[in-house]
Copies of this chain bind each other. A is one copy, B any other.
Amino acid sequence: MRTSAGTASTALLTDMYELTMIEAALRSGAATRRSVFEVFTRRMPARRRYGVVAGTARLLRALESFRFTPAEIDYLAQAKVVGDETLDFLREYRFRGSVLGYAEGECFFPGSPIVTVQGTFAEAVVLETLVLSILNHDSAVAAAASRMTTAAHGRPCLEMGARRTHEASAVAAARAAVVGGFAGTSVLEAGRSYGIRTIGTAAHSFTLVHDDEEAAFAAQVASLGPGTTLLVDTYDVERGVERAVAAAREAGGELGAVRLDSGDLVAQAFTVREQLDALGATSTKITVTSDLDEYAIAALNAAPVDSYGVGTKLVTGSGHPTAELVYKLVAREDSRGVMREVAKASTSKESVGGLKMAGRVLDGHAATELVVSCETEAAGRAELDRAGARPLQVELVRDGGQIVDEHVGDGALERAQERHLASRAELPYPAWRLSEGDPAIPTRHVDVFPDDDDPAVTI
């Protein structure tokens, strides 16, 4: 994001309290304590049987630009957000810790440690807002997309919701939709930024600006060829279909598709299919685009529809615009230099302490999300291995701050989609239900912290 100050730094996409905490922790000495922060969700939104990790590549890129350049320092000094010692710390800030996480596209469940940030308290706490903004948004859209592509049973779903969300979210939403199985997007910046296939033909205004529908269709076919998609519901659908097929034939071809954007789509799809077939336009497809969500898509599966264009409900997470992920301190060094589990004990917001390693236990299909609280990654991995679980975490940022290219470079988005479809296919049948219900698999917590190392707080 280019800011008003003209910089491309992501450092101020941050809540003020991250910086005032650093200031106080620099003074108390806690700033340098080794710490483990974890991103997880306490519960799935209603009706969601699984979550979808999305935004990882965007997060890693944003981390590279997380720098307090002179423009950011000047603002913080002038607004008196923090004092000179903290400004000195921020000026030199580079994340030099490590990040583990579920690879992009992987399914997750309540308690899944989808991202684990290890570093000093100060260097890790300051990333909280940015990490959550990106993962909460992108994962919410990807989860909605995944339900829609499940409901579509292989018919292509196309993203066209840019107009119903913030202009920058729209680009991220298109990307997240692809992670969830979508096949294309209407928004050009997503084509440029992420190489996503862009799609689109014409709006009602295009028909209305011409003297009549015949003139509009002729103009579109002349420009885009008979293989284009004509929007047939500006006036009367039956007359529209007739004119659309005729316009394509006059240009020497068969019409590619008609688009329906209003009315009872199920009934119309049958009528229009019959009409197209009667006209001999058996190869002409039908695409529908009016206020679709996973339920409407499921209802349309019985109808002769060839593809779905989804807008509002997709980019707003189909009722759940945020994934409810939180970023919590789960372990930190004590005054003797020993790593200790920590967890907040307040009512209704319990969390489980400790560094965690996670694996999926398979038994024909996925059966359990196994989450191991452990002192070291190696100890956790050994436990997963013992249980025969598929390890879920990969290295996203190497210790020292170097980003692992595989998760951001060419092909990362395609791999994330493939990974999602494979991870989803591994889930038991209830995962694909759209109705109320529990997460598709249960999460089981195991603690292999050494006995003599009681957690700082037990819940």
- A62: which B residues are within 8 A, CB to CB? 167
- A129: which B residues are within 8 A, CB to CB? 162-163, 167, 170, 186-187
Asked if A312 and B316 make an inter-chain contact with CB atoms under 8 angstroms apart, the answer reads: no
Q: CA separation between A343 and B222, bound complex, in Å?
A: 24
Asked if A188 and B219 make an inter-chain contact with CB atoms under 8 angstroms apart, the answer reads: no
**Chain B residue with Cβ nearest A240:** B346
Asked if B5 and A322 make an inter-chain contact with CB atoms under 8 angstroms apart, the answer reads: no
Q: Does A166 contact B (CB under 8 A)?
A: yes
Q: Give which listed residue, B121, B171, B189, B262, contacts A346 with CB less than 8 A.
A: B262
Q: CA separation between A168 and B224, bound complex, in Å?
A: 35
Q: Does A321 contact B (CB under 8 A)?
A: yes
**Chain B residue with Cβ nearest A14:** B188
Q: Does A404 contact B (CB under 8 A)?
A: no
Asked if B24 and A121 make an inter-chain contact with CB atoms under 8 angstroms apart, the answer reads: no
- A457: which B residues are within 8 A, CB to CB? 208, 235
Q: Does A344 contact B (CB under 8 A)?
A: yes
Q: CA separation between A3 and B27, bound complex, in Å?
A: 39
Q: Give which listed residue, B168, B203, B334, contacts A17 with CB less than 8 A.
A: B203
Q: CA separation between A103 and B440, bound complex, in Å?
A: 49
Q: A262 CB to closest chain B CB, in angstroms?
A: 4
- A198: which B residues are within 8 A, CB to CB? 16, 79, 81
Stretch at the interface among A130-138, A376-384, A393-401, A441-449: A130-138
**Chain B proximity mask over A69-100: 1 for CB below 8 Å, otherwise 0:** 00010011001010000000000000000000
**Chain B residue with Cβ nearest A187:** B15
**Chain B proximity mask over A322-355: 1 for CB below 8 Å, otherwise 0:** 1010011100101100000011111111000000
Asked if B335 and A33 make an inter-chain contact with CB atoms under 8 angstroms apart, the answer reads: no
Q: Does A368 contact B (CB under 8 A)?
A: no
Q: Does A425 contact B (CB under 8 A)?
A: no
Copies of this chain held together in the complex:
2
Stretch at the interface among A209-217, A249-257, A280-288: A209-217
Asked if A205 and B328 make an inter-chain contact with CB atoms under 8 angstroms apart, the answer reads: yes
Q: A219 CB to closest chain B CB, in angstroms?
A: 3
- A166: which B residues are within 8 A, CB to CB? 133-134, 137, 165-166, 168-169, 172
Q: A116 CB to closest chain B CB, in angstroms?
A: 14
Q: List 28 A-B contacts (CB under 8 A).
A: A4-B193, A12-B187, A12-B192, A13-B162, A15-B162, A18-B203, A24-B220, A25-B219, A28-B215, A30-B206, A62-B167, A76-B188, A81-B198, A125-B209, A128-B203, A128-B205, A133-B165, A133-B167, A136-B163, A137-B169, A165-B322, A168-B168, A204-B346, A208-B329, A208-B342, A261-B349, A264-B347, A312-B322
List A residues at the B interface (Cβ < 8 Å). Answer: 1-5, 8, 10, 12-21, 23-25, 27-28, 30, 33, 35, 37, 62, 72, 75-76, 79, 81, 121, 125, 128-130, 132-134, 136-137, 160, 162-172, 186-189, 191-194, 198-206, 208-211, 215-216, 218-220, 222-224, 233-237, 261-264, 312, 315-317, 321-322, 324, 327-329, 332, 334-335, 342-349, 456-457
